[in-house]
Amino acid sequence: MMRKPPKYCQGFLDRHGRSRWYFRRPGFDRVALPGLPWSPEFMAAYEAATKGGVQTEGAGAAKTSPGTVAALVVSYYRSAEFLNLKPITQRTYRSTIEPFREQHGDKTVAKLKREHVKAIIAKLADRPAVANNRLKTIKILMRHAVETGMRPDDPTLGIRKLRTGSSGYRTWTEAEIQKYYDKHPTGSRARLALDLMLYTGQRRADVVRMGLQHLRDGVLTLRQSKTGTEVEIPLHPVLRASLDALPKKNMTFLLTEYGKPFAVAGFGNWFRDRVTEAGLPDGLSAHGLRKAACRRLAEAGCTGPQIMAISGHKNLKEVQTYIQAADRLGLAREALKRQLAADEERTKIVKPAGQV
């Protein structure tokens, strides 16, 4: 007998014969769910949907006045553009849209002017990354407002992002990786977590889904949850050793202390504690290991397409920075080698003629 799907979940077969599942809670917007009911990826998205759903009907709609920012947000959540996003991207968008709706939901969309947008961004100037995310949010909503006729123009056109002075998440160094290894030996969940990220170069949302079902003939095959890109990654011997130390009774590689698959946010918090246990500084994240994986590949002489085949990046520009950094390091080492040879030549003591 087939197990019933979780509450508020509905599915159907599309015209290609593929299963499509959605979370449809009365009074809330629809959320697409990946995979099949009760699978780890399905349940992680289901958990997020039950906690993060946004009201679009009933009581929520009754409080939303037509033409306001709140009404625009509701309209955007119902749009094909939003519903066709991957669940992980939907959650990311919500996390920036909801604070904006909370602060400006009662304001009229048609009256929003360029100077208003600039003032909103200016208030966040001390946090440029937050300011840029807020600007991105407003741009998305204003584009939807124009498309739906809520206003004739886009007041965000030409407004530039703030300089952050940061390259994003910090890349782990080799010394930091070794220090983590010294604390967490092979066979521990903490060691496996780092090896999965470092030797696959995947995002934490995909790492927590990895399991025996993705492994065949020494190759890890996975469709990325954010981009839909399918990657095929031959197992590195270090990662193979970590996996071989695991009991084979569970499909998912990484499990909580209760034997359940990690939620993405929960894994981030758990991994941060393991980093702290190793005596490493704040600021080292799971995403920093994805960058370290790309750095290592570049330093090994891999080309952009070769790195992209592992990491799943779709834009060559994103991986080119690692290649350029590796090239600079190689050139610097070659320069030092030549300098030392020249120094040795200059300091060589020439013995006087006839001296034995």
Q: Which residues of 74-106 are buried (b: 16+ CB within 10 A; e: fewer)?
A: bbbbeeeebeebbbbebbebbebbeebbeebbe
Tokens (6 digits) for 170: 């910090």
What total of structural domains would you count in the chain? 2
- Helix 174-183 and helix 189-200, axial crossing angle in degrees, nearest 10: 150
* CB count in 10 Å sphere of residue 350: 6
Question: Is 141 found in the same domain as 40?
Answer: yes
Residues 306 and 255 in one domain: yes
Burial class (CB in 10 A: 0-12, 13-18, 19+), 236: middle
Ramachandran region of residue 27, left (φ > 0), alpha (ψ -120 to 50) or beta?
A: left
> Predicted confidence band at 57 (pLDDT cuts at 50, 70, 90)?
very low
Residue 160 CA neighbour count, 13 Å, CB half: 3
Same domain? For 234 and 187 the reply is yes
- Residue 322 located in a structural domain: yes
Burial of 349 (0-12, 13-18, 19+ CB in 10 A): exposed
Token couple for 17: 């014969």
Judgement on whether residues 312 and 179 belong to the same structural domain of the protein: yes
Q: Give the chain's mean pLDDT.
A: 85
Residues 309 and 228 in one domain: yes
Dump pLDDT digits (tens) for 240-290.
Answer: 999 998 877 778 999 988 888 898 888 988 999 999 999 999 889 898 999
With both helix axes pointing from N to C terminus, report the angle between 69-78 and 128-147 in degrees, rounded to the nearest 10.
80
pTM of the model: 0.61
Instruction: Express as a percent the part of the chain with pLDDT over 70.
Output: 90
pLDDT of residue 162: 84
User: Does 241 lie in the same domain as 184?
Assistant: yes
The pLDDT of 17-21, averaged and rounded, is 78
CA–CA gap between residue 124 and residue 116 (Å, rounded): 13
165 in a structural domain: no
Asked whether residue 168 is assigned to any structural domain, the reply reads: no
Do residues 125 and 183 both lie within one domain? Answer: no
Report d(CA 144, CA 319) in Å as an integer: 31
Q: Are 112 and 207 part of one and the same domain?
A: no
Predicted confidence (pLDDT) per residue in 290-310, tens digit: 999 999 999 888 999 999 999
Q: For residue 118, name the pLDDT band (cuts at 50, 70, 90).
A: very high
Instruction: For residue 156, tell me if it sits in a domain.
Output: no
The CATH number for 209's domain is 1.10.443.10
Query: Who's near 213: CB < 8 A, 6+ residues apart?
Result: 251
How many helices and strands in the chain, by DSSP H and E? 15, 6
Instruction: Note the pLDDT tens digit of each residue in 151-163.
Output: 999 999 999 888 7
Given this model, what pLDDT does residue 60 score? 43
Judge whether 46 lies within some domain: yes
113 in the same domain as 192: no
Are 97 and 179 members of one domain?
A: no
> Which of the pair, 91 or 190, is modelled with greater confidence?
190
pLDDT(197) > 90:
yes
Range of the domain at 20: 9-147
Q: Are residues 31 and 138 in the same domain?
A: yes
Give the tokens for residue 253.
Answer: 């590689």
What secondary structure letter does DSSP report for 6? P
**Quick one: 190 and 112 in the same domain?**
no
How many Å apart are CA 21 and CA 33, to the nearest integer? 5
Q: Is residue 192 in a domain?
A: yes
pLDDT band at 36 (very low <50, low <70, confident <90, very high): confident
Task: Look at residue 342 and tell me whether its pLDDT is greater than 80.
Answer: yes
Is 106 domain-assigned? yes
- Amino acid present at 17: G
In a domain, residue 271? The reply is yes
